[in-house]
Structure 1
């Protein structure tokens, strides 16, 4: 009997160790994303033609001074951007270059997950936060992540959901 239980105990231990690494169950506070750099939208990602995980880019190219994003398995999200402004080049109109004309930003967290046994993408939005004319904003919130949440990506977006900056660059 003892020999028959040993493989089952070994399997239970393996599942307990591997499941969190696979995104299963992850409701603890472990950091699952720690992006020290975010990339700004540029051609060919402007507009909806080359959307990333269903999230279209802003209609014009942007640039970013400094940014970071962290996401924990329990849904705590912190995003800090400085200098997220329209690019200082064409095709941005000269009078808008280097400015942020959008008074509010939000974040979208995109996860690869499963639904009814099929792989799918789940995008979860935060509430809007104030953004300065110089492109500074801080998002500090908690969101409900899908389970599992594989390969999370964090976007900084317009109120309508067009992305200006993204983790993973």
Structure 2
């Protein structure tokens, strides 16, 4: 019976560790090997009448509730927003035809997306690219009704 030397055991462990690291790195990269690092992945909440202005935008004139919603912003500016059931509870539906998103970086650098269709059941998907500043600290996503850059009806957070 042969005993494995400490050096051989160390080298085998190092090879396994490097292989696992390389596999996890490639899994988090796109086809070109560019990292797809998320700088924001957060739930979305509907705005309420008591909500304060955020980054110069005021909350909508009615309360909004949401069944489910998430926003994902990558360091390269790729933005994905999915909302389901974003409605005015007293109506039971969404009266708006379109929805946009505003990405806020550094508490002041605002980037608004083009409007997308917004169903009466309160469902919308935004998949787009926004140009981010070189540093995007404390990113936030606000949802705008009818492309109105001065109003939000939902925002990332709890």
Q: Which has the larger radius of gyration?
A: 2
Equivalent position of 2:130 in the other structure: 143
Structure 1 position 59 matched with structure 2 position 61: yes
Task: Please tell me whether the aligned partners of residues 28 and 74 of structure 1 are also in contact (alpha carbons under 8 angstroms).
Answer: no
Which of these residues, 112, 119, 130, is aligned with residue 125 of structure 1? 112
Query: Aligned-pair RMSD on alpha carbons?
Result: 1.4
Q: CA deviation at 1:147?
A: 1.9
Task: Return the TM-score normalized by structure 1.
Answer: 0.69
Structure 2: distance between partners of 1:164 and 1:43? 10
Higher relative contact order (CA 8 A, sep 6+): 1
Distance 1:123 1:55 in 2: 10
Between Structure 1 and Structure 2, how many residues are aligned? 123
Partner of 2:98: 104
Could you list the runs of 5+ residues in structure 1 that have no partner in the other structure?
1-26, 89-96, 113-119
Divergent runs of 4+, >2 A: none
- 2:49–2:60 Cα contact (<8 Å) kept: no
Structure 2: stretches of 5+ with no match in the other structure: 1-33
CA distance in 2, matches of 1:133, 1:166: 19
